[in-house]
Chains A and B, each alone.
Chain A
Amino acid sequence: MTVNHSYHGVLIGLLVAMIGSFFADLLAGPVSLQWFNIWAAIIENKASLDSLIFFEIRLPRAILALLVGATLGISGAALQGLLRNPLAESGIIGVSNCAALGAVLVFYFGFTQWAWFALPLAGLLGALVSVVLIFLLAGRSSSTVTLILAGIAINTIAGALMAMALNFAPNPYAMQEIVFWLLGSVANRSVSDVLIIVPFIVFGGLLILSCGRFLNALTLGEETASSLGFNVQVLRWRLVVGVVACVGAAVSVCGNIGFIGLVIPHLLRPLVRHDPQRLLSVSAMGGAVLLLLSDVAVQVLSSGGELKLGVITSLVGGPFFLYLILKNRNVWG
């Protein structure tokens, strides 16, 4: 069927783009590496200068960009499918900031030593609180205005609580570091940072993917989905847990990188003809590509990366958001 051919074409195209941008990010950096030296270091099992930079600095950075980008993409698609609203996204509805709040409370008050998973778990719990709040505030109505207003409220409160927590934190740099938490960055991360979030992201991603058919059924509303053989209560929570697990972990290590979850599903939806299930995997790859390329831009623009990644994604996503509003003014009243 031609429909399947084009879908497979899209998948392959995105996969290639993802691999390509991954390598582009590995190549980007202030120091030009000698690839032969890296290769030799691997074979001889002895660290050289180039291999050190490659394995300890660049590789964690690129892997994080890929994982976090995929997380944001797939969670944006999942939230939009669940709430049946193209504006739902972990940043806009406040999930990311609440995850950051959870992470801040654990990070600056000395609880990261408690367990290896303390930090991503804190992000997950923060994210969970925000989703519960969204359901309470916006209900299951697909009204855009209510959803956005609820998101604004949650974002504002989370941001204020974060600033307050940072103010009272024991160390003097805390307050200045709010920029990281609000804008996000993948720079200066080590391999251990990557490892602590991989289980959460894989777990969350798989949970989300398992709800793909449910999202398709939701195209017709919750009651119809129920009559089509889906346990709406259970599946809704499964999806939510999936989203908060991967977003919570991603934000706890990289801060709130915004707009990927909004831009990518919107751009790729026509490619999968609005199929919510297909949009999930496609958005994961698209998100990875976008974040990797944004990181390449960061490396190029600031010759090393003191520019926060979230600045680039906001510069791209902000105007895109405006464009969405303009285009859909009539529909959203």
Chain B
Amino acid sequence: MGLSAVLNDESLLLTGQQLTLSITGGATLLNAVSVTVNQGELVGLIGPNGAGKSTLLKLLSGVDSPSKGCVSLAISGSLEPISALSVRERAQKMSYLVQGAKAYWPIEVEKMIALGRLPFQKWWQQSSDYDQAKVIRAMQLTETLIYRNRIVTTLSGGEQALVMMARVLAGEPEVIFADEPVATLDPYHQLHVMELLRAHAKGERAAVVVLHDLSLAARFCDRIYLLNDGGLFCEGSPEVVLSQHNIARVYGVDSQITRVAQDLSVSPVARLNNRQQGG
């Protein structure tokens, strides 16, 4: 575990060093992966199924603890390991959006979004006006005010995704961690959610997103980490990472990469017979 260090790079927000996760039974889900996230960055985690993207996201956000390695967060000029933070402090600074997020009880949308304010309330406190204001703001950002009195479970998939984002935004975290937030959405809602993440990752904040859609990753992410088989294959800007060669090696598909002005578009075309493992 690292000790807190003076922050040399002013823009560094979050680091994960040599993160490893082994589970009982001996399998290693993640092997010595290091990640850095700077202020104002939208970082993408991509890779084939089972590469360890969700695992890495959970370690970075503090939901799970690594077997080896350490995750640190920049707080007032120094890097603190998140394991040293109280659960409450961590929850205030980092927010996690689960894959396939849903509500188990049919509660009202506004109430559900208000759950995002839980890390800021003491046990005896009810929701304050300040909390209420944050909730409204989150609904405005996500354009979900019209749903505020609807029951969450009656919304469509796209509407639910927006409402879940609003819950995350209501906490005004420094870093948002989202696990495949757009997987089941139509193009309209996909773009909307990614735009919200992009808008959040400005100034002193950041976001880390697990994605399957390579074009979306290319378009919205500042930097991408390409994972394969529990390890880091490569990282860098989308142009660097999303090369035909890399995609062929990791995903085992032949792809067509086109560039139109600022937009990089990646389309998988055909499967390759000899998919090479490792990286």
Direct A–B contact in the complex, CB atoms closer than 8 angstroms: yes
A residues with CB within 8 A of B: 4, 84, 142, 210, 213, 216-221, 223-224, 226-231, 273-276
Within 8 A of A (CB), among B147-193: 167, 177
B contact face: mostly helix, strand, loop, or mixed: mixed
Candidates B58, B62, B94, B167; contact of A220 at CB < 8 Å: B167
Contacts known (A227-B61, A229-B118, A273-B111); A220 close to B123, Cβ less than 8 A: no
- Chain B interface: which size bin? 20 to 34
Q: Are A213's CB and B118's CB within 8 A?
A: yes
New A-B pairs, 17, CB < 8 Å, besides A227-B63, A274-B107, A275-B111: A84-B105, A210-B123, A218-B104, A219-B103, A219-B107, A219-B115, A220-B98, A220-B104, A221-B104, A223-B63, A223-B96, A223-B98, A224-B98, A226-B96, A227-B91, A228-B116, A229-B91
24 pairs from A and B in contact (CB 8 Å cutoff): A4-B126, A142-B104, A210-B123, A217-B118, A218-B104, A219-B103, A219-B104, A219-B112, A224-B96, A226-B63, A227-B61, A227-B62, A227-B94, A227-B95, A228-B115, A228-B116, A228-B118, A229-B90, A230-B87, A231-B87, A273-B108, A275-B107, A275-B111, A276-B105
Q: Are B101's CB and A228's CB within 8 A?
A: no
Shortest C-beta distance, B124 to chain A (Å), equals 10
What residues on B are CB-neighbors of A231 within 8 Å?
A: 87
Alpha-carbon distance between A221 and B94 when the two chains are bound, in angstroms? 17
> Cβ of B92 < 8 Å from any Cβ of A?
yes
Alpha-carbon distance between A275 and B94 when the two chains are bound, in angstroms? 25
> Cβ of B69 < 8 Å from any Cβ of A?
no
Q: Are A229's CB and B104's CB within 8 A?
A: no
Shortest C-beta distance, A54 to chain B (Å), equals 39
Alpha-carbon distance between A142 and B112 when the two chains are bound, in angstroms? 19
Q: Are B106's CB and A229's CB within 8 A?
A: no
Alpha-carbon distance between A276 and B91 when the two chains are bound, in angstroms? 21
What residues on A are CB-neighbors of B116 within 8 Å?
A: 228
Within 8 A of A (CB), among B70-120: 87-88, 90-92, 94-98, 101-108, 111-112, 115-116, 118-119
Q: Are A221's CB and B107's CB within 8 A?
A: no
Within 8 A of A (CB), among B23-73: 58, 61-63
Contacts known (A213-B123, A230-B87); A220 close to B107, Cβ less than 8 A: no
What residues on B are CB-neighbors of A210 within 8 Å?
A: 123
Q: Are B92's CB and A220's CB within 8 A?
A: no
What residues on A are CB-neighbors of B62 within 8 Å?
A: 227
Shortest C-beta distance, A10 to chain B (Å), equals 15
Alpha-carbon distance between A161 and B177 when the two chains are bound, in angstroms? 50
Shortest C-beta distance, A221 to chain B (Å), equals 6
Q: Are A216's CB and B123's CB within 8 A?
A: no
Q: Are B103's CB and A229's CB within 8 A?
A: no
Alpha-carbon distance between A218 and B98 when the two chains are bound, in angstroms? 13
What residues on B are CB-neighbors of A274 within 8 Å?
A: 105-107
Q: Are B119's CB and A219's CB within 8 A?
A: no
- Nearest first, the 10 closest Cβ-Cβ pairs linking A and B are A229-B91, A227-B96, A229-B119, A84-B104, A274-B105, A229-B88, A274-B107, A229-B87, A228-B118, A223-B98
Alpha-carbon distance between A226 and B87 when the two chains are bound, in angstroms? 8
Shortest C-beta distance, B3 to chain A (Å), equals 23
Q: Are B107's CB and A217's CB within 8 A?
A: no
Shortest C-beta distance, B109 to chain A (Å), equals 12
Alpha-carbon distance between A218 and B105 when the two chains are bound, in angstroms? 10
Alpha-carbon distance between A275 and B103 when the two chains are bound, in angstroms? 12
Candidates A216, A223, A273; contact of B115 at CB < 8 Å: A216
Alpha-carbon distance between A145 and B91 when the two chains are bound, in angstroms? 34
Shortest C-beta distance, B136 to chain A (Å), equals 13
Shortest C-beta distance, B8 to chain A (Å), equals 29
Which A residue sits closest to B117, measured CB to CB?
A228
Q: B107-147, CB under 8 A of A: which get 1 and which 0? A: 11001100110110101001000000000000000000000
What residues on A are CB-neighbors of B104 within 8 Å?
A: 84, 142, 218-221
Shortest C-beta distance, B117 to chain A (Å), equals 9
Contacts known (A213-B123, A274-B106); A224 close to B111, Cβ less than 8 A: no
What residues on B are CB-neighbors of A224 within 8 Å?
A: 96-98, 101
Which A residue sits closest to B90, measured CB to CB?
A229
Alpha-carbon distance between A114 and B126 when the two chains are bound, in angstroms? 45
Q: Are B107's CB and A228's CB within 8 A?
A: no
Which A residue sits closest to B92, measured CB to CB?
A229
What residues on A are CB-neighbors of B115 within 8 Å?
A: 216-217, 219-220, 228
What residues on A are CB-neighbors of B63 within 8 Å?
A: 223, 226-227
Which A residue sits closest to B86, measured CB to CB?
A229
Which A residue sits closest to B122, measured CB to CB?
A213
Alpha-carbon distance between A199 and B247 when the two chains are bound, in angstroms? 64
What residues on B are CB-neighbors of A84 within 8 Å?
A: 104-105
What residues on B are CB-neighbors of A228 within 8 Å?
A: 91, 115-116, 118-119
Which A residue sits closest to B104, measured CB to CB?
A84
Alpha-carbon distance between A273 and B96 when the two chains are bound, in angstroms? 25
Alpha-carbon distance between A142 and B103 when the two chains are bound, in angstroms? 12
Candidates A223, A230, A273; contact of B107 at CB < 8 Å: A273
